[in-house]
Every structure is written in structure tokens, then in C-alpha cells.
Amino acid sequence: MPSQADSRNKLSAWKCRIKSMNTKKTSLGALQRRIDAIKEQLCGLGDLRPGALSQQYNVCGKPGCRCKADPPQRHGPYYQLSWTRDRKSTTRFVRASELPEVRKQIRNYQRLQTLVERWIDLSLEICELKKKGGRE
């Protein structure tokens, strides 16, 4: 009976082989189709926002307020969105009612980044394939 580590090694070697087989088999057409699919997804992206949401809790100026009790129950959470554009960082408060929309916009932005990265990878593969094809 092989040990767990042995079978894990075999499995990963196998996965490696499958991966390299796939890479060799990938044709220009297949790569192009994957890029086309990415373009389609890019077109479907809705509004987007760069940045990250953070939460904060505040203390007010009202005397005897619960935010000054022991232990203090501070007000909040308040949400803010921070992003950097052209080396300038900006922070905006986000209302609780706006949160679902803003979260979606942030996801869209991240999706955009992922899709663009994939596009670049595939495009590099295409360039390499074309170069090889030209040499043969």
C-alpha cells in the first residue's frame, strides 16, 4: 500500500503531465476563442470602482452617550471606500444603502483586472506560438 505522500507525488506528476500536454495541444484557434470569450465578458461588465471598503466606529460629542459608556458602544459601523488614482488617494463615505451596489462595482473592477491579465497571458502564448510557427 503506497503512503499518502507517494500517491500525492504521483498525482501531482500526473497533473503536470496533463498540463504540459494541454499546453502543447493548444492551437492558435483555441487561444483566440478563449480571448474572444474574455472580450465578451469584458463587454458585459457593469459599473466598476477601484478600491477597498473599510469599516469604522465613531465616538460622538453627546454627553452621556453609549459611545462613552464602560465598555463603550461606539457608533457604526460606517463604511468608507478608499482608492488611488494617478497617485492620489481618495476616501469617500458609503451609505449602508449603497453598500450592495458598491460591493458589486468593486467586484467588477477586480473581474476586469483578472480578465485583462488572462488576456495578456493568452496573447503572449499566441505570440510565442506564431513565432514558433514562423521558424518551422
In the complex, which residues of this chain contact Zn ion (CB under 5 A)?
60, 65, 67
Residue carrying C-alpha cell 491579465:
117
CB of 93 to Zn ion, least distance (A): 17
Q: Which is nearer to Zn ion, 63 or 100 (CB)?
A: 63
CA atoms of 48 and 104, how far apart (whole Å)? 8
User: For Zn ion, which is the closer residue by CB, 15 or 66?
Assistant: 66
Minimum gap (Å) between residue 72 Cβ and Zn ion: 9
* Cα–Cα distance list, 108 to 81, 105, 115 (Å): 15, 5, 10
Q: How far apart are CA 133 and CA 130, in angstroms?
A: 5
Closer to Zn ion by Cβ: residue 19 or 66 = 66
> What CA–CA distance (Å, rounded) separates 14 from 32?
27
105 HSE (CA, 13 A, CB side): 15
Min separation Cβ 76 and Zn ion, Å: 10
d(CA 84, CA 126): 33
**Nearer of residues 46 and 76 to Zn ion, judged by Cβ:** 76
Smallest gap from residue 71 Cβ to Zn ion (A): 14
